[in-house]
Structure 1
Amino acid sequence: MRLRHLSVLATVTALLAFPAHADAAPSGHTYHVSPQGSDHAHGTPTTPLRTIGACLARVRPGDTCLIHHGTYREQLTPPSGTKDAPITIAAYGDGPVTVDGTDQVTGWKDAGGGLVAADTDLPPDPDFNAVFLDNTRAAEGRWPNSGADPLNATWAEADTTSTDQHIDDSDLPDADWTGATVHLWAGSNPWAQQTGTVTTTGPGELDFKGGNYRCPPLCMGNQTYRNYYLVGSRAALDQPGEWYYDKTAHRLYMVPPRGGLAGHTVTAKHRLWGVDLTNSSYVTVRGLSLWGTSLRTGVSSTGVVVDGLHATYISEFSTLPMPPDGDLAVPPFEGNIVASRILDSGVQILGSGNTLRNSEIAQSAGDGVLVRGTGNTVTDNYIHDVGWMGSYTPGIEINGNSQTVTHNTIRRTGRAAIDTAWQLNGTEFHDNRIAYNDISEAMRTSRDGSPFYVCCSLNGSGTSVDHNTAHDADGQNGYYVDNYSNHFRLHHNVAWNTGSRGVYFNGHTGPSIANEDHNSSYGVGINVASTALGGATDASGSYFSNIVGPKPVTATKVGDPPPVVRSNLISDKPGYTDAVNGELWLRPLSPAIDAGEVVDGVTTDVLGAAPDQGAYEFGAPIWSAGCDLPGCQERVRHGNWTATASDASDASATVDGDINTRWTGSSPQTAGQSLTVDFGESKTFGRLSLDAGRDTNGQPYGFTVSVSRDGTHWGEPLARVSGRSFTQDAVLDRQTTARYVRITLTASGPAPWVVNDIRLYGDGPDGSSTLQAEQATEVRGADRGTASINLRGGDRAGFREADLRGTHLTARLVPACEGGCSLQLRLDKPDGRVAAEIPLSGTGDWQERSVTLKHAVTGSHDLYVVAKGNGRVAQLDWLTIRP
């Protein structure tokens, strides 16, 4: 799958990097490193070193390695600095600096049967092998074949005659699958995936061992779900680019691209940890890129700062073993399979007092980030396309106490976006702050969970989960505090399109005490409860108030004192600004205004006679969640869309913005059936998501996506999708502007196809959406807060590659100028063409100002708001550009 934003961030990181010696101690020495250098040189700008390792062999506390543009195939193991004199490893700023964990595979020879092979030693454990063809992830050979996106997997379905560790499948190719890995997503309620090893095979059947640790709900046999696939066998090689490694013969097999391997490059992973800080403290790593490898600190590390990391293809593995007993914080039992691979994948921030910030982390079979220890910080990161192997590996796994996880954007995860595994963490989860994170497109390879998930028996005393947004996920809830966990305080959170509930505290036949949810807002796509506490034998001290949502707030009435449920607004007309687009802030005359109660430790900054209900105080600046890096804002604004089905059935449910409504075709799937969507105006997008809900019946078996500007003339398909998953992504071969899109089936299926929701995503922010000022990708001079920015004369805020299509600029602001001031909208560069200007004078309260653009603007532009005047000019909340 192509990842456009990765190259954008790498470029931005390189351009913004600057010589790190400015931050080093005055006595520190600075060494330069370049691919054109020599390790026998002095390390000066004119005589640089050749490898980063040579620099690290020389540095002492306070010293700096400045790395010039290039690719470095080595593992970095820095020594420690001191608190007052850290060691710094930083990109110089003349282009991307890539630490590459792969080496080229050469010596390919014909191996017969349409295969080529190379004799090579792959140093990592064979379970962690990864192969790349022309700098793109090559898939390990598997049956049935699947597309390039591992989060959109194709599964085989076993026959109902299958038993515990035996599969019957009449579609299974007649081959020797002995020794292959069987990957299972099966059972009555498969909340995790498992792997086993094939022991014997025969026509249409195989036996395996392993997996099936809890049967039911996780087993093969005659169950509701009987999904599986096979990898790790030469018999599976039948598509160009697929590979198999014979670990006994040390031989790598591949199906070559059409025309052979001439002109192509094959690399394989050789270094799991490109930056290994296991024994390092007080080290700053700034502006580096990682490819096919990852970074970790150690349990004793402290004072490590990782800033501006750009990490791609960080973890790959093919099996899900039970965690070793030594890794467990609770007694071993079969359910611990869910914690498989959490501790050996992802970018790992272990120890105490370490920081990961301003980084993009993508493409991992397991974790995006593991934070473990005490007092670490993970902030302002963009984490996506991780956790596809189907255990509980999330976007961010939080273990320990006093961790700070804020302002991260996490999307497209196999299961949760944020998670903690009590099997590894233990039951103490104290004093953690999880706030201002935007979590979406979670639960891509599971069905029982949520974007935010914590389990089990956790004591969350002192932990605050607040000001997060959860949306567009295929799980059951937005926020899920599962199985006997207690003392969790949630407040000022937002959820929409998260399935059954906004938040769920699950007692599960045990205690669920002192849990809270206050001042949260829940929107469309929630059809059971806004907030619920259920199944508890003891719910003492739980308290739910000031909640706005479409469904009731409920709690099991047990405990002393019993749960408190009051001061909540349950309404399908709460006065939200734009519920379909997740703008759940209040409009004038909303019944939630001044209708709330004061909650100690939660209520702040009351405007009016009393606190408001919901997550946003009316009249205050609108807070936002997520990071401010390129790629963090990419969903295209939903409008008055209409849909037409080729069978003439009512397809309006596909475009109403609610994942709980469903369109179903009138007959079983056949090639040529289609849906045509009219957006009402041209939209610019690079990805279309087709959400088919959590029921596996009716998921499309394959489709194409075509576009049209007029609804009459259609070009060739811009995307082809195969596989069956809850949500399937069609990634277009280019960013495209069109008013109409057509989804056409390319395969037959036993049941009618279903669509719950269609969403669009672009390569940058949509200018017709509300652009939050504090999420600007570039802020110069201005003071950035959590809900607005303060601009003085000469200050600016910029949004990179915003899609603009409109004639009117509207901004919400507080003027702070006595006269002669303005906010200018400039295109493409800070001193670029002025598209609009808002004159300002005087002071006042929050207000919306609209002006007509000098000329209508279309297309993708860098967008800058520049303050003109002396002293303070304005406090800016948000802006939008619309027709």
Structure 2
Amino acid sequence: MRLRQLSVLAAVTALVALPVQAQAAGPGRTYHVAPWGGDHASGSPSSPLRTIGECLSRVHPGDTCLIHRGTYREQVTPPSGTKDAPITLAAYGDGAVTIDGTDPVTGWKDAGGGLVAADTNLPLDPDFNAVFLDNGRAAEGRWPNSGSDPLNTTWAEADPTSTDQHIDDTDLPDADWTGATVHLWAGSNPWAQQTGTVTATSPGKLDFKGGNYRCPPLCMGNQNYRNYYLVGSKAALDQPGEWYYDRTEHRLYMVPPSGGMTGHTVTAKHRLWGVDLTDSSYVAVRGLDLWGTSLRTGKSSSGVVADGLHATYISEFSTLPMPPDSDLAIPPFEGHIVASRILDSGVQILGTGNTLKNSEISQSAGDGVLVRGSGNTITGNYIHDVGWMGSYTPGIEINGNDHTVTHNTIRRTGRASIDTAWQLNGTEFHGNRIAYNDLSEAMRTSRDGSPFYVCCSLDGTGTSIDHNTSHDADGQVGFYVDNYSGHFLLHHNVAWNTGSRGTFFNGHTGPSIANQDHNSSYGVGINGNSVLLSGATDASGSYISNIAGPKPVTATQTGDPLPVVRSNLITDTPGYTDAVNGELWPTAGSPAVDAGETIDGITTDVRGTAPDIGAYEYGEPIWSTGCDLPGCQERVRHGAWTATASDGTDASAAVDGDINTRWTAAAAQTPGQSLTVDLGETRTFDRLSLDAGRDTSGQPYGFAVSVSRDGTDWSGALARVSGRSFTQDAVFPTRTARYVRITLTASGPANWVVNDLRLYGDGPDASATLQAEQATTVRGAERGAAATGVLDSGEWIGFRRASVRGDRLTVRLASTCAAGCSLQLRLDAPQGPVAATLPVRSTGSVDTWQEQSVTLPRRLSGVHSLYLVAKGGPRVARLDWLTIRS
């Protein structure tokens, strides 16, 4: 499932392409590359080279390759520049520049049995094969069939008579599955997935080898979970677009689309690394698209900057082998299967002092980004739809020391958003800064974990995990420091809708030494502990304070000195601004204000008589998390939603914004059962998430989504969804509607359950709080972590494609302008129509914040790019946030 990525990528390209051209010119020579050029040309603008490789064969330190729009099917291997004269590889700015890792497959012929085939040599290890049909991912043939979203997979369930390396399943089709890959999500507590190879089959039975045979917790057999599916067999080909590659015959088989192959294009992956910087240093790569391939630096790389990449379908694989011993930092054992494929997937930033920034990374069976070595920076990136194979491959895998990982938005991951694998990393995890990241929609293919997860026995001395948000995830915890890890400092983090806990330090019958959590805020959707430190044989020096949350803070009282737990606010009424929408900052009169204790280096920027409890200081600008690229802000603000079930049961829990409350239908799933949601007012959205929490049986076996503006006239089915993941997504063309109906289309053995329903749009929701420093574009003033600098007259901030409905603009600002200053709200362009003018009143200083509002001449609705333009003086105002509501 592509989740609107083409429109997002096109928008990002438009935003970054023109600056790339200006930045590309360096002190050396500039060569031009274009598909219409020739490799014996001079490389001038009027006589460009044909290939990037030819350009790179000519460059020296300080030189630049400017690449014109087009598709380049080649592997790019830049030489090294120097610290003072890097080599630059950049998009020219006249359209998308795509490094394509695939080659066309042609010569399709009828192969009998409803199949077509083409003779082709796919050079990659067969486990890494990937096929694309009409520029979309084609699924490898599998049983049982699944939908187009690999994060919403359909599982078969083995019978309880199954054993460790044997499956009984009366539903298994009678076919020869020998040699197929069996993918398992099974065991007593399946915190990872595993694969094996089928060795023998008979009706309703199969034997296999591989997987993690240390049972429990990970194995097949008569366990709590007995889920599996089969791939890598010609017998599985039964729906259009599915493929199978016979590695002996070098023949690719496919079920053709309806009407045959005429007019359709098929490509197959040929190059794992479209941009290979393994032996390169001091290279700048800017504004390139990567399709069906990825980028990597090497262990000796330094000074590489990858900026404004759009990397899509970066990694694909079909098996989860045990990592080789040569990759391990600690002695091997069967549990290391969780680290499978971490080192051979994703965009890889290895070495020292390299940077990945302002990039969109999406569609990966494994990692989104792997960072290893020391002193690398990963910042301002949008990473989504990764890790669907179910190992510990996350949005960002961090190995090593002194890395900076900040301001990234990480969404829709199979397991964690951010992770470190001690099997590969070793126990030293020093000096890393992980801050201002937004982590959501994690744990799509697992159940025991969290958006932020580190394990095991790690020494986090000097590492700070601060100012992150973790929410709307199907695991157990928001921030999880697992199994004997110590010396981790967490502070000013925020979590809601993360299951049983906000933060969990798991001693697990071992030490959990000197772990800290300070000034963090926890909200709805946490039903166990706001913070828990448990199971530790030694928790010496642990310290938890200034926590605001709905549930207790608890720490095992072992060690010398004993853990400190104090100055925490545990209440259902903390005075948050809007807990359901994650706005956990205090309002006037909140019991958190001036109620905290002073902690050196943590409680800074204090206003009043004492620090506030929680992650935000009342009166200070509100800091934000995540990136400012298009797509980084999508969640539709939750309002006064109501739900009606067709069976008459009370369905309010499905729309209360709390992942831990649940609506359960009155009977087992049958086609026609429905849930109708009234949003209270029209909203604009193009994705619906139906969340069943961590339930493993109540997800719909199939459903359709329709919408209505008036509750009477309904659209047809905008999307049809199947699969069995905890959260199922329906994606459809953008709609503006007040009512949403989810109707079951298939039968299922269990009653339908819904814990939470969320909506998303292609852009921010202007009725939510739009953080000024997260504007898609800013002209003039600098961005800060929590607000802009002072805008002068003519300077502005802009939000791309915001969903707008309302007649009142409110801006939180700080200003010293005595008279004549204003902020103009303009639509669709900085010089577009003026929708409102807000007179700016002085707040006394540029550090004194105040909400100022104006009623719009007419109510706004629809989707617009919004620009707030400063007028009237040299120093008009600093901006914290804005909103447009009724």
The letter for the 1-side match of 2:757 is I
- Aligned partner (choices 861, 864, 873) of residue 861 of structure 1: 864
Letter aligned with residue 772 of structure 1: Q
Identity of aligned residues (%): 81
Q: Normalising to structure 2: TM-score of the pair?
A: 0.99
- Structure 1 pair 796/332, CA: closer, same or farther in 2 (3 Å)? same
Task: Tell me whether 842-851 or 808-817 shows the greater mean CA deviation.
Answer: 842-851
Residues 578 and 843 (structure 1 numbering): CA distance in 2 closer, same or farther, change over 3 Å? Answer: closer
Residue identity in the other structure for 1:500: S
Contact (CA 8 Å) 1:20, 1:88: kept in 2 or not? no
Confirm whether residue 479 of structure 1 aligns to residue 451 of structure 2.
Answer: no
Tell me the secondary structure at the aligned position of residue 55 of structure 2.
helix
Deviations 1:519-573 (A, max 9, x none): 0000000000000100000000000000000000000000000000000000000
How far, CA to CA, are the matches of 1:466 and 1:369 in structure 2?
Answer: 20
What are the ranges of 5 or more consecutive residues in structure 1 without an aligned counterpart? none
> What is the alpha-carbon distance in structure 2 between the residues aligned to residue 630 and residue 417 of structure 1?
19
Q: Could you tell me which amino acid in structure 1 is paired with residue 738 of structure 2? A: R
| Alpha-carbon distance, 1:582 to partner | 0.2
Aligned equivalents of 1:481, 1:34: Cα separation in 2: 49
User: Which residue of 1 is the match for residue 154 of structure 2?
Assistant: 154
- One-letter amino acid of the counterpart of residue 585, structure 2: W
Please say if 1:871 is aligned against 2:868. no
Equivalent residue for 1:548? 548
* Map of 2:369 onto structure 1: 369
Q: What does residue range 520-539 of structure 1 map to in structure 2 within 5 Å?
A: 520-539=520-539
| CA RMSD across the alignment | 1.0
* Corresponding residue number in structure 1 for 2:199: 199
Which residue matches 1:793? 793
Contact between 1:402 and 1:433, CA under 8 Å: does it hold in 2?
yes
Structure 2: 5+ residue stretches without partners: none
Counterparts in 2 of 1:665 and 1:24: CA distance versus 1, 3 Å: closer
Asked if 1:457 corresponds to 2:460, the answer is: no
Q: 1:57 to 1:331 in 2, by over 3 A?
A: same
The answer as to whether partners of 2:811 and 2:882 remain within 8 angstroms in 1 is yes
Aligned residue identity for 2:873: N
Match of 1:815 in 2: 815
**What is the distance in 2 between the residues matched to 1:86 and 1:174?**
60
8 Å Cα contact 2:27/2:85 also seen in 1? no
Q: Report whether the alignment pairs 1:60 with 2:63.
A: no
In 1, Cα distance between equivalents of 2:808 and 2:14: 34
Residue identity opposite 2:883 in structure 1: T
How far off is 1:842 after superposition?
Answer: 3.2
| SS across alignment from 2:351 | strand
Cα distance in 2 for residues equivalent to 1:850 and 1:872: 19
Deviation at 1:693, TM superposition (A): 1.3
Checking the alignment, whether the CA contact within 8 Å between 2:442 and 2:473 is kept in structure 1 is: yes
Distance in 1, Cα, partners of 2:25 & 2:109 = 54
1:752 aligns with 2:755: no
Paired amino acid for 1:198: V
Q: 2: CA distance between counterparts of 1:159 and 1:495?
A: 38
Q: 2:467 aligns to what? A: 467
How do residues 607-686 of structure 1 correspond to structure 2 at under 5 angstroms? 607-686=607-686
Cα deviation for residue 223 of structure 1 reads 0.4
2:20, 2:218 → 1: CA distance? 52
CA distance in 2, matches of 1:15, 1:529: 43
Q: CA deviation at 1:815?
A: 1.8
1:708 corresponding residue in structure 2: 708
Q: How far is 1:2 from its partner?
A: 2.6
Helix, strand or coil for the counterpart of 2:343?
Answer: coil
Q: Which residue of structure 2 lines up, in the alignment, with residue 305 of structure 1?
A: 305
Q: Give the aligned partner of residue 728 of structure 2.
A: 728
Question: How far apart are residue 794 of structure 1 and its match?
Answer: 1.4
What is residue 586 of structure 1 aligned with on the other side?
A: 586
The 5 Å alignment of 1:124-163 reads 124-163=124-163
Distance in 2, matches of 1:74 and 1:828, equals 38
1:603 CA drift (Å):
1.2
Matches of residues 272-671 of structure 1 in structure 2 within 5 Å?
A: 272-671=272-671
With normalisation by structure 1, the TM-score equals 0.99
CA drift of 1:19 comes to 7.0
The answer to whether residue 220 in structure 2 is matched with residue 220 in structure 1 is yes
- Output one character per residue of 1:646-673: Cα deviation in whole Å (capped at 9) or x when no partner: 1100000000000000011111111111
SS of the residue 1:842 aligns to:
coil
Call closer, same or farther: CA 1:377–1:753 in 2, change over 3 Å.
same
Helix, strand or coil for the counterpart of 2:612? Answer: coil
**Residue identity matched to 1:182:** V
Match of 1:95, as an amino acid? G
| Distance (whole Å) between structure 2 residues aligned to residue 607 and residue 278 of structure 1 | 49
Distance 2:749 2:23 in 1: 64
- Give the superposition deviation at 1:843: 4.0
Letter in 2 for 1:120: T
Is contact 1:141-1:244 (8 Å) kept? yes
Structure 1 letter corresponding to 2:881: W
> Counterparts of 2:444 and 2:2 in 1: how far apart (Å)?
18
Q: Which amino acid aligns with 1:275?
A: V
Give the deviation of 1:20 after TM superposition: 5.5
> Contact 1:10–1:289 at 8 Å: present in 2 too?
no
Q: For 1:289 and 1:694, locate their aligned partners in 2 and report how far apart those are by CA, in whole Å.
A: 36
Match of 1:784 in 2: 783
Amino acid at match of 2:787: S
Per-residue deviation, 1:22: 5.2
Code of the residue aligned with 2:235 in structure 1: it is A
- Supply the distance in 1 between the matched residues of 2:454 and 2:661 (Cα, whole angstroms): 28
Structure 1 match to 2:842: 842
Deviation, structure 1 residue 15: 4.6
Residue 880 of structure 1 aligns to which amino acid in structure 2?
T
**CA 1:27–1:660: 2 relative to 1, 3 Å:** closer
What is the match of residue 881 of structure 1?
884
SS in 1 for 2:7: helix
Q: Distance in 1 between matches of 2:596 and 2:851?
A: 26
Displacement after TM superposition at 1:577 (Å): 0.3
2:12 aligned counterpart, secondary structure: helix
3-state SS, counterpart of residue 62 of structure 1: coil
Cα offsets for 1:24-78 (capped at 9, x unmatched): 6864000000000001100000000011111000000000000001000000000
Matched residue type, 1:389 = M
CA distance in 1, matches of 2:448, 2:160: 23
CA distance in 1, matches of 2:856, 2:675: 36
1:730-770 C-alpha deviation (Å, 9 max, x unpaired):
111x1001100111111111111100000000000001010
**How far did residue 213 of structure 1 move?**
3.2
C-alpha separation between the residues in 2 aligned to 1:541 and 1:869?
Answer: 55
Q: Which one is further off, 499-508 or 851-860?
A: 851-860
CA–CA distance in structure 1, aligned partners of residues 3 and 54 of structure 2: 33
User: Which amino acid is 2:219 matched to?
Assistant: C
AA partner of residue 320 (structure 2):
L
1:11 is displaced (CA, Å) by 3.7
Instruction: For 1:189, give the aligned amino acid.
Output: N
Distance 1:8 1:412 in 2: 16
Measure the CA separation in 1 of the matches of 2:850 and 2:640: 27
Q: Is the CA contact (8 Å cut-off) linking 1:416 and 1:450 kept in structure 2? A: yes
CA distance in 2, matches of 1:237, 1:276: 35
Task: Pick which of 384-393 and 9-18 moved more.
Answer: 9-18
Counterpart of 1:787, as a letter, is A
Structure 2 distance, partners of 1:692, 1:68, is 47
> 1 CA distance for matches of 2:635 and 2:816?
32
Work out whether residues 30 and 65 of structure 1, in 8 Å CA contact, stay in contact via their aligned partners in 2. Answer: yes
Measured against aligned partners, the alpha-carbon deviations of 1:183-207 in whole angstroms (never above 9, x if no partner) come to 0000000000000000000000000
